[in-house]
Amino acid sequence: MLERYFVRPHTVDRIRALWLGPAIDQYVDWLTGRQAASDTVQRSVQTLIHFDGFTHACGVTTWEELPQYLEPFMAQWMQKRGTWCRTEKDRQAVHAHGRVPVEQLLRLLLPDFVGSQRHLAPPFQVSIPGFFDGLREERGLRPTTVHRYISHLRAFEAYLQRAEAEDLRELTPALLSAFLIESAQRLTPGTVADRGSTLRVFLRYLHRQGIIATDLSRAVPRGCRYSQASIPRAIPWSEVPRVMAVVDRRAPVGKRDYAILLLLISYGLRAREVAMLRLEDLDWQQEQLHVSERKGGHSTIYPLSTTVGEAIIDYLRFARPQVEERRLFLIAKSPFTPLGSYSISARAEVYLHAAGIEVPRPGSHTFRHTCVQHLVEADVPFKVIGDYVGHRTPAATQIYGKVALHKLRELALGDAEEVL
354/418: higher pLDDT? 354
- Residues 10 and 8: their CA atoms lie apart, in Å, by 6
Query: Which of the residue ranges 4-8, 111-115, 225-229 would you say has the lowest mean pLDDT?
Result: 225-229
DSSP state of 277: -
Tens of pLDDT, residue by residue over 71-83, are 889 888 988 887 7
* Banded model confidence at residue 390, pLDDT cuts 50, 70, 90: low
Q: Could you give phi then psi for residue 59, rounded to 5 degrees? A: 85, 20
Q: What is the mean pLDDT of residues 115-136?
A: 73
State the Rg of the chain over Cα: 24
Q: How confident is the model at residue 113 (pLDDT cuts 50, 70, 90)?
A: confident
Euclidean distance between the first and final Cα of the chain, in Å? 63
* Nearest-angstrom CA–CA distance, 146 and 136: 7
Check pLDDT > 80 for residue 394.
no
Return the pLDDT at 256.
96
d(CA 350, CA 318): 23
pLDDT band, residue 420 (cuts 50/70/90): very low
The active-site residue out of 107, 200, 256, 270 is 270
Distant-in-sequence, close-in-space partners of 402: CB < 8 Å, separation ≥ 6: 228, 231
Query: What is the reported pLDDT for 393?
Result: 54
Q: Is 365 a catalytic residue?
A: yes
CA atoms of 211 and 208, how far apart (whole Å): 8
pLDDT band at 119 (very low <50, low <70, confident <90, very high): low
Element (H, E) at 105: helix 88-109
27 tagged catalytic: no
**Active site annotation includes 242:** no
- Whether 369 is catalytic is no
Please name which of 144, 86, 136, 134 lies closest in space to residue 112, comparing C-alpha atoms. Answer: 144
Identified catalytic residue from 5, 267, 351, 400: 400
Q: Which is the catalytic residue, given 295, 392, 406, 409?
A: 295
Active site residue 317: no
The pair phi, psi for residue 210, each rounded to 5°, is 80, 15
Rounded to the nearest integer, the mean pLDDT of the chain is: 82
Domains and CATH numbers, the chain: 2-118 (no CATH), 121-219 (1.10.150), 237-413 (1.10.443.10)
Overall average pLDDT of the 244-262 stretch: 95
Q: Return d(Cα 289, Cα 302) in angstroms, integer.
A: 5
Distance CA 111, CA 340 (A): 5
Q: Give the residue from 253, 241, 194 showing the smallest Cα distance to 220.
A: 194
Q: What angle do CA 391, 392, 396 make, to 5 degrees?
A: 55
User: Using one digit for the tens of pLDDT, what is the confidence trace for 296-337?
Assistant: 667 888 999 999 999 999 999 999 999 999 999 998 877 788
Instruction: Give the span between the Cα atoms of 128 and 122, in whole angstroms.
Output: 10
Q: What is the pLDDT of residue 227?
A: 46
- From the list 99, 255, 353, 391, the catalytic residue is 391
Q: Is 406's pLDDT higher than 50?
A: no
CA dihedral sign, ordered 175, 177, 180, 185: negative
**Is the pLDDT reported for residue 6 higher than 60?**
yes
Mean pLDDT of 2-9: 85
- Which residues are bridge partners to 290 per DSSP? 301
Active site residue 402: no
Marked catalytic residue, from 256, 368, 369, 374: 368
